[in-house]
Amino acid sequence: MNGKPQVVIIDHGLYQILTPEIKESWCKIWKSFVIQDQITLEKEIKKLGVTNVKLFCVLVLMRNYDG
């Protein structure tokens, strides 16, 4: 950022093998973000067992999300 070298630590300790159903839901979630399909987005997020859709979107996108 300021032109100086920096050390970046990446923790890969939480990997998990995803089921085909979860992979499909994630694909639909990202597509829904891109095409702004709020209905599919909410449906797929809830399939993952998440009840707070807005918080999920904020955490995934790392920015405010108003739908």
Q: What Rg do the C-alpha atoms of the chain give, in angstroms?
A: 15
Quick check: is 55 in a domain? yes
Quick check: is 3 in a domain? no
Could you write out the DSSP letters of every residue in the chain? Answer: --SS--------TT--PPPHHHHHHHHHHHHHHHHT-HHHHHHHHHHTT-S-HHHHHHHHHTS----
Which residue range forms the structural domain that includes residue 54? 20-61
pLDDT, residue 1, reads: 64
Domain total in the chain: 1
In this prediction the pTM is 0.75
Question: Following CA atoms 38, 35, 18, 48 in sequence, which dihedral angle do they give, to the nearest 10 degrees?
Answer: 0
pLDDT in tens, 10-43: 888 888 899 999 999 999 999 999 999 999 999 9
